[in-house]
Each structure stands twice: as structure tokens, then as C-alpha cells.
Chain A
Amino acid sequence: MNEKLRMTIIYGVLTIFGLGMIIPFIWMLSTSLMTQAEFNKHESTFIPRETYYEWTPGGVPASDKMSDATEGSDLPSAIKSGKQKVILVMEQGTNSIIHSLDKDGKIVQEYLSVPSTQVKKVTKVPSLHWENYTKAFKKVPFGLYFANTLYVSFLSLIGVLITSMLAAYAFARMEFIGRDFFFYLFLSMMMVPEPIYLISSYVLLDKIHWLDTYQALIIPWCVNIFTIFLFRQHFKSLPQELFDAAAIDGCSTFGMLWRIMIPLSKPIIATASVFSLIGSWNSFMWPLVMTTRPELRVLQVGLSYFNQEASTQTSLLMAASTFSIVPILILFFLAQKQIIASYAKAGLKD
């Protein structure tokens, strides 16, 4: 096959599927900026737009018996001034019957009859309703959920790093009775998926009165078997000479970990941190089950409750979804090369 044609096909296929990968996100973003009415009308797909009627009061007020509100003096002052959004009810001869609206879209005055020449159909593209984000934030204490998630994620991360490095140090560079036993015990525990022990963990945490506490979200996740293996692999690869030299200089066992191994493990620490942070940021089933108090909700749980409460308020749901993934996306874009390389390497080692 012709090389040029082959490349064109490759780029074409990659582009089409690449679009498929991000279209849900683009749609999420654009839907989050639409008004609910616009979304329900289902006219704009990706670029939020809005069609409405605009009334410019002025000239001679039409004298129609249908409503005395059109008599200039009776109009509320909000209606009198300038162009404004209105709802067109119907056209009646040369007049239009409208509802006038206030800033928030509430009807102020019903059934005004005004000259049709004063009412115009307007289409605004793009019409971006950033206030959906503040509205969603007001409805649900997402600030609290963010804080909870950060708190839980960072404390578990610190726990994971400490327990993993200590255990990996022993597994990688110490000889002791039962080392292989413990190693395989750890390995076999990693093989058991979370849903298997979810129910019994709930019973256990209930027995020790940990349900609905922060420690239920943090302490059980302060250990990560996979991270232990990641560190063990790395610690094993460090040259023995380093340790011999340190031993001659009188460095203690713990000193070797602290002064030699940790400074030489920065890439692995970064990898482990990324896995741990992404893992706890996105963890859902455990916090959903182990906490019921709204004050303890982490972001994913809060978002799932919002999904139930606001199932018809699509724009707000989309706004909430958008800002729940933004922090992880920022982290991802800041370190995408390292993150992707970490996942690739971790996969190969297995």
C-alpha cells in the first residue's frame, strides 16, 4: 500500500476515535453552560445558544382593554426601562401578548399587549450560562466535599507511602524468617477484589464503631499492596555498594532508608503518589457504603447524591460533573508524560 495513503488512513482513524473519546467531555462542558429550557428544547448540540423574544418599550403604548398594565403609568418601573427578555404568548393583529420577566426569568407582569413592532425574536450564539456553576455550588456543599476528598486523599497518601516504604525495605533488602510467607500472603490478598470484602468490612467497622467517621475512609486505605511491590522492585535494583559504604560510615538500618533509599526513589514516590491520589479521588463504593452523614461525604459520593436529587436539572448536573473532574484533569495535564509512563511501566512489571 502507498505509504502516504496508509498514513492518511491512520491519522483519519485515530482522529475519529479520538473525537469519540473526548466528545462526551465536550458535550458535558457545553451542556453545563446551557439553560435548562434550551437543553430541553434540544436545538443546540455543542454550542449553547438561546432563542428568546426581546421587547423594546417605547413609542405610544398600545391601548388595549386586555390589560391596563400597558397604560404607561401603571407599568412597574422594572418593565419600563430598556430592552428586555419577554415570553411571547400570542400575536393578536398588530399587537403581541407578552409576559414580562425580571432578571432571574420570573414573570413580573402577565399578558401585556404591546405593538408587534416592539417585539423581536433574538438568537444568541454562544450564550454561556456560567451561573450554572454557582447555582450548583449553592445547591450542594461541594466546597465541603472537595475539602473532605482532599483530606482523605492526602492522609491516605501519607499512610500509603510510609507503610509501603517500610515494608518494601524489609522485603527487598533484609533477610528474615518467614519473608517469603509474608510476601506471598500480601500478594494473595491483592488478588481479592474489593466487592468481596465490602459487606464484611461494613460489619467490622460497625463493630468497632467506625462507621460514619473519617478514619473509616482513611485508615483501611493507608496500605497498598501494589505500591509495596513497586517500591520493593525499585529498592532491589539499588546497588549493594551504596549500603556497604553507608554501613562502614556507621549508618543505621533506618538511616539507610531515610538517607539513601528515599532520596533515590523520587520517581517511584511520584508514581505511587499519582496512583494513590487518583485512586482515592475516584473511589466511590467504599465511601458510599461506609458513610451516611452528609458532613462526611467525599466528592464522588456527594456527586452521586446530587445525581439523584437533581436528575432533571441536566445543566447543573453537568456543571457539577465538570468541576469534579477538573482537579484530576489539571493534575493529569501537569504530569501527563510521567503519569502515562507510570501506568505503562506498572502494567509491564506484573
Chain B
Amino acid sequence: MKTKWKASPYLYILPAFALLFAFRLIPIIMSFVISFYDWSIRGTGKFIGLLNYSNMLHDKVFWQSITNTFWLVIIVVPASIVFSLLFAVMLNQIKALKGLFRTVYFIPFVTSLVAVSIVWKIMFNEQTGLMNTLIGYIGIEPQKWLSEARGIFEIFFTGMGITLPKWASGPSQALFAIIIMTIWKGLGYNTIIYLAGLQNISKVYYEAAEIDGASKLKQFFRITLPLVSPTTFYVLIMTTIVSFQAFAQIYLMTDKGGPLNTTKLIVYYIYEKGFDTLEMGYASAVALALFVLILGLTVLQKRLEKHVNY
């Protein structure tokens, strides 16, 4: 068949393209434009150049929300990778009940974030929540969780009688509670991805290693870990992108990103600026900052991936 110009291919992509143009491309461009305006709701706004951006750089709450988001990402991503790889490796070695475990691990991922956020909020309740009951069984005193603004390192070291400098106090316990819940929610998905990745590793390597007398631990570090690295990069990039966008947890589990803004994540801040205080121009500037952050990290991770390619 030779290529000639026909109208029909364009007709086939037209419905998808029209929708994407109207509801994706235009809003993305508008987002950029609005960020240069003092844009309150329902107005056309006033052009103010880079003022939103310079305000943003001096906005303490913005920086706090960036810091909070980084804490979340920096804990959620590695923890998700370690736990899901561990589960996948174990699931890959068993036969009986494999399906059951896989299903159980996957349930949190398919259930709605709204419903599970409500459940976890109640679980973290200081007086009646399940968390304090459970940690009580192993002798830990009740924690304040979602209403605790002190950092987790601060709490830990104060308990041991050491006073930490303020910058080292870490994410607040409230944010830590959000982090636990966020890890729990995504683990099943990552485990399934890892399981699929592990199944692509040829058995031959393990048989050879077995003959050479390599221990299981050595096999894990010398065979499994390197050969599963494409999956690790996929999980790394996806979990990073998703974690940066955490919103529903904050909306449902905290009082507007409290206590003391310690759980205010960047997307929640965008929402708050856009729809609570109606500073839509400013919110768009923050949104673009988030986009640059996500894009930058993704590019960085892709670069890293090329370096570590097996």
C-alpha cells in the first residue's frame, strides 16, 4: 500500500483530538497565561506580570507546602519500593495461597481514596482510634497522630531525652500519619508490577547461581535486584508522580492542612488558593511550579535510568 493523502485518518483521530484540544491543551496553556494575572473567580483579571511568582517565592506557606510534599515523597517512594519488592519476591516463591495474598494486597488500591481516607482518619483518632489500641498492645503510649504538629524525630529524640535543633525535627506526626496511609494505599499496585517484572527474569540465572552455591541473599542482590531494575524505575517514577499529587487524604483527614500547616501538601495548597481564597492566578503559578518540579524529577530519574541500564 502506498501512502497518499486521505482525509479519513484525520476524521478518526478527530474526536479524541477535539476533546484533548478543548479540555487539556487549552487549559494547560490557560494555566500558564492565568499565572501572570491577578485572577479572582469569574473575572477576566488584571495582568501583573511575574508578581504571582515573586510573591510565591516569598510565601512561607508555599515553601512549607513544598517541604511537606518533599517529606511525603522522600518517605513514601523508597518505602513503597522496598516493601512492594519484598512482598513480590516472597509472593514469587510460594504456590499455595498466592492468589489470595495478591488479592488482599491489591484491595486498598482499587477502593476509593475518599472512603479509605475517612476510615484512616477515624483510625488515627487520639481517643477512640484503632492505631492507639494497636500500638498499646506493644506498649507504646497513645499518640496524637493527626493533631500532632511536632516532628517525628523531635518526638522520638525528646522521648530519649535529647533535644534536637528545630530544622531536624522532621515531618510532623500528622504528616507521618498521612504518609503511612499513602504507602498502604499504593503498595498493592507496586507489588503487582514487581511481581510481573520478577516473572520476566529467566530461571536459568538462579539455577546457575544455585550450582555455584550462591546463597539466597546473594542471589537477591546479584540477580534479582539488577534484573528487576527497569521495573524499579517504573515504580520509582510512577510513585513519585502520584505522591506529588496527593490531595484527597489532606482534604478529608486534616483540618485544611493543619495542625499548623504541617500537612499542607502542594496540591492542597493549589486547591486552597484557587477555591477557598479565590486567588486563581496565584494558584496557577503554584501549579506551574509543581509541574516544573515533577517534570524535572522525571527527567532526572530517566537520566539515572539510562546510567543504570542492564
Contact = CB atoms under 8 A, between A and B. Distances in A.
Interface in A1-47: 1, 6-7, 10-11, 13-14, 17-18, 20-25, 27-28, 31, 39-40, 42, 45
B28, B112, B113, B294: residue with the most chain A Cβ atoms closer than 10 Å: B112
B115 A324 contact: yes
Given A166-B12, A206-B42, A307-B118, A289 B110 contact: no
Interface residues of B, number: 97
Given A22-B104, A195-B290, A328 B94 contact: no
Given A7-B94, A167-B13, A285-B248, 7 more contacts: A25-B111, A166-B15, A195-B267, A200-B26, A220-B22, A281-B112, A348-B231
A321 B231 CA distance: 33
25 contacts: A10-B93, A14-B90, A17-B87, A22-B104, A24-B120, A25-B111, A167-B15, A174-B9, A191-B295, A192-B291, A196-B31, A203-B34, A219-B19, A285-B247, A303-B114, A303-B118, A304-B251, A304-B252, A307-B118, A307-B121, A314-B128, A317-B118, A333-B103, A340-B192, A345-B196
Interface of A: 1, 6-7, 10-11, 13-14, 17-18, 20-25, 27-28, 31, 39-40, 42, 45, 162-164, 166-167, 169-171, 174-177, 179, 182, 186, 189, 191-204, 206, 219-220, 222-223, 225, 228, 253, 278, 281-282, 284-285, 288-289, 299-300, 303-304, 307, 314, 317-318, 321-322, 324-325, 328-329, 332-333, 336-337, 339-340, 343-345, 347-348, 350
A190 B274 CA distance: 23
A281 B102 CA distance: 22
Nearest to B30: A200
Interface string B14-32: 0111011011111110110
Contact of A163 (B8, B15, B187): B15
Given A14-B90, A321-B119, A202 B274 contact: yes
A191 B91 CA distance: 32
Interface of B: 1, 3, 5-6, 8-10, 12-13, 15-17, 19-20, 22-28, 30-31, 34, 39, 41-42, 83, 86-87, 90-91, 93-94, 97, 99, 101-108, 110-116, 118-123, 127-128, 130, 133, 184, 187-189, 192-193, 195-197, 200, 216, 231, 234, 238, 241, 244-245, 247-248, 251-252, 267, 270-271, 274-275, 280, 283-284, 287-288, 290-291, 294-295, 298
